[in-house]
Chain A
Amino acid sequence: MADLLQHLINGLASGTIYALVALGYTMVYGVLKLINFAHGDVMMVGAYLGYSTAQRLGRPAQSSLGGVLLVFLAAMGGCALLGLGIERFAYRPLRDKPRLTSLITAIGISFTLEYGFQLDFGPLPGAAPRAFPEIIRPREWFILGDGDVVIWNWQVISFLIAVALMVTLQYLVFKTRFGRAMRAVSFDHRIAGLMGIPTDRVIAGTFMLGSALAAGAGILYAIKDTAIHPLMGLYIGLKAFVAAVIGGIGHVPGAVVGALLLGLVEEFVVGYTASSWRDAVAFGFLIVVLLVRPEGLFGRVAAEKV
């Protein structure tokens, strides 16, 4: 019973991180109908930006409230700019071309980031994993019984930060002018353009938003995993994408539900079999979902119009 509870908690904790990344996928897919393959790698860049900011701040400052805030802001700001750059130079010129071309470009960007960060000259970090500084010192927040069930303070904090970011996003999408423009572009970007919505700016804004969320997720993941490496974005990115598809891609709350579900399934499979199966779970789950309900849990079936 305690086992079950512990797995439940761990699963929810990793699910929230997947959710933050999945939101970026689903938003970009919503406005552009493009799978931004490089999204996981933007997350990785965010983790590295947070790492270098924390290093620069030094030991006492990095774990103060202001320091942590600064780490998050630097990473999120930096990644927003990176997302803007990727959209501007790699995706915008191809927007009217067949979608396959932008998919290939996305893979190209992802590859460049993953392997570019493995080079070890100049400011690039090299392939070896780095220990992420303890910006939140791990401490048991809640213990049940004789250490049977433990909730760590970082799990609670990650959860709260993730929820805060998601609430902000929900507000942004449904209560602001920008959000309304975003929804319009997602509905039909050509008509939205005719209605006077600056489509280019809205799409760029969506990319920045998604990338900033990914950077936040990157730092939360780094706190959880205590190490960062250039390939960390590959699997988290893929799994977050799987989560977005399970929830119905383009559907914002669906991405969150899908991510939590995936986090739980993964945790339970790993908990009751062996951890070496972890990477296969998500894809197996995806294939099953695509077989049974290809539009995802909350997605709508859209007939292709000619």
Chain B
Amino acid sequence: MASTALPITSGLPRGLRGVFPFLVAIPVLAALQLAVSERYFLVYIASIIGVNIILAVSLNIVNGMTGQFSIGHAGFMAVGAYIAGKFSLETKQLAISLLPVAVSDQLMFIVALLIGGSCAALCGFIVGLPSLRLKGDYLAIVTLGFGEIIRVIVQNTQAFGRALGLSGIPQRSSFFMVYFWVFLTIVIARRIAASTHGRSLWAIREDEVAAEAMGVNTTGYKVRAFVVSSFFAGVAGGLFAHFVPIINPGSFTFVKSIEVVVMVVAGGLGSTTGAILAAIVLTLLPEAMRTAFVALSGGQASLAQKVDQIRMPIYGILLVLLMLLRPQGLFGNKEIWDVVPRWWSRRRKGLA
């Protein structure tokens, strides 16, 4: 069982422990925002990484902590993206009175994200309630089916632009906003893991029958975990919609869901830091490979396209190999600070 509190905060007085992460994170993020705000490509890549981190960490609540298997995360992301995007499009001209335009825009953006997240959470509730009463495999197939249904609905709805998607959504996202939500997701995931709620989730993951026998309301906890996870997936989608020029059904296919699953599994089912690390590496790796190939081939685009093609089968093989060789993922259900110091001290001892 992983240690639950961040090691840094354990020395603080009790009252401060809850707000301490916020006191640190907000100034740091604001400073970073000032540093990177002019470098658009960097912000773009960082935003994609951020969205992937939110997706991976939130999926980890269901797949990792609760041991249920959802493979429709892109569906919830799509709900968030489309609802938030549509809201922003419709209210583009509106501004809250007595406030500067920038501030009012950001407030409207937050409202859009919350609406998108809530709609995704509602969908999570509707999908989760029947399927979470069933075994894990059914949940997998129902979530997958749900993702597909969402895609088909979007493709058939005029208001969502059908296959063409939505364009012209105001680009209100910023480095600060994305990473503030990343931070919020991580804090909430960690708090859940450390709470009574989290203990129940771990119990369900280890042995559902035993958990039920010990008085854990398994369906209730599973549905709640699912709703929280869907909410953040929706927020991730909302953020995504506000920094890419266009969203269309093609951005939220089965492939996207599997990408997130690979991140969670590779990082270790139940390890929040593992999921973060995997999300960063698996987002940067193809980009880096693409740049490297373009540089090597003297600007030929065809090799770069090959990288994109090869990425998918490699994801598949990676999943199989991971399950065969290290079914618990890189970090298992431990966090980085559980693994690294021990490994470090063992190495130092080995050297001495």
Query: What is A's interface to B at a CB cutoff of 8 Å?
Result: 35, 90, 93-94, 97-105, 107-116, 118-120, 234, 238, 241-242, 245, 274, 276-277, 279-280, 282-284, 286-287, 290-291, 294, 304, 306
Known: A94-B327, A105-B320, A115-B309. A238 touches B265 (CB 8 A): no
Q: In the assembly, what is the distance between CA of A304 and CA of B210, in Å? A: 11
Known: A277-B156, A294-B134, A304-B209. A119 touches B313 (CB 8 A): yes
Q: Which residues of B contact A284 (CB under 8 A)?
A: 145, 149
Residue of B nearest to A38 (CB): B316
Residue of A nearest to B311 (CB): A115
- Kindly provide the distance from the CB of A100 to the nearest chain B CB, expressed in whole angstroms: 6
Q: Let me know if B152 and A277 touch, CB within 8 A.
A: yes
Q: Let me know if B313 and A112 touch, CB within 8 A.
A: yes
Q: Let me know if B67 and A286 touch, CB within 8 A.
A: no
- Kindly provide the distance from the CB of A219 to the nearest chain B CB, expressed in whole angstroms: 24
Main secondary structure on A side of the interface with B: helix
Query: What is B's interface to A at a CB cutoff of 8 Å?
Result: 67, 69, 71, 127, 130-131, 133-134, 136-138, 140-142, 144-146, 148-149, 151-153, 155-156, 209-210, 254, 258, 261, 265, 309-310, 312-313, 315-320, 322-324, 327
Could you list 5 further interchain pairs (A-B, Cβ under 8 angstroms) beyond the known A111-B258, A119-B313? Answer: A105-B319, A105-B323, A108-B320, A109-B320, A116-B316
Q: Let me know if A290 and B131 touch, CB within 8 A.
A: yes
Q: In the assembly, what is the distance between CA of A107 and CA of B130, in Å? A: 23
Q: Let me know if A35 and B323 touch, CB within 8 A.
A: no
Q: Let me know if A103 and B156 touch, CB within 8 A.
A: no
Q: Let me know if B323 and A283 touch, CB within 8 A.
A: no
Q: Let me know if B71 and A107 touch, CB within 8 A.
A: yes
- Kindly provide the distance from the CB of A92 to the nearest chain B CB, expressed in whole angstroms: 10
Question: Which of A97, A100, A107 is B319 in contact with, Cβ under 8 Å?
Answer: A107
Q: Let me know if A290 and B142 touch, CB within 8 A.
A: yes
Q: Pull 8 A–B residue pairs with CB atoms less than 8 Å apart, ordered by A.
A: A35-B137, A100-B67, A104-B319, A118-B309, A276-B156, A277-B152, A287-B145, A290-B130
- Kindly provide the distance from the CB of B139 to the nearest chain A CB, expressed in whole angstroms: 10
Q: Let me know if B148 and A112 touch, CB within 8 A.
A: no
Question: Which of A35, A110, A242, A287 is B316 in contact with, Cβ under 8 Å?
Answer: A110
Residue of B nearest to A34 (CB): B137
Q: In the assembly, what is the distance between CA of A212 and CA of B352, in Å? A: 60
Question: Which of B130, B152, B258, B310 is A291 in contact with, Cβ under 8 Å?
Answer: B130
Q: Let me know if B152 and A280 touch, CB within 8 A.
A: yes
Q: In the assembly, what is the distance between CA of A291 and CA of B310, in Å? A: 39
Q: In the assembly, what is the distance between CA of A242 and CA of B127, in Å? A: 16
Q: In the assembly, what is the distance between CA of A186 and CA of B293, in Å? A: 50
Q: In the assembly, what is the distance between CA of A93 and CA of B312, in Å? A: 24
- Kindly provide the distance from the CB of A122 to the nearest chain B CB, expressed in whole angstroms: 13
Residue of A nearest to B144 (CB): A238
Q: Let me know if B316 and A112 touch, CB within 8 A.
A: yes
Known: A103-B137, A279-B148, A284-B149. A111 touches B316 (CB 8 A): yes
Q: In the assembly, what is the distance between CA of A110 and CA of B320, in Å? A: 10
Residue of B nearest to A108 (CB): B319
- Kindly provide the distance from the CB of B345 to the nearest chain A CB, expressed in whole angstroms: 31
- Kindly provide the distance from the CB of B310 to the nearest chain A CB, expressed in whole angstroms: 7
Q: Let me know if B141 and A35 touch, CB within 8 A.
A: yes
Known: A107-B261, A115-B313, A276-B156. A282 touches B145 (CB 8 A): yes
Q: Which residues of B contact A306 (CB under 8 A)?
A: 209-210
Residue of B nearest to A100 (CB): B69
Q: In the assembly, what is the distance between CA of A129 and CA of B226, in Å? A: 38
Q: Which residues of A contact B149 (CB under 8 A)?
A: 280, 283-284
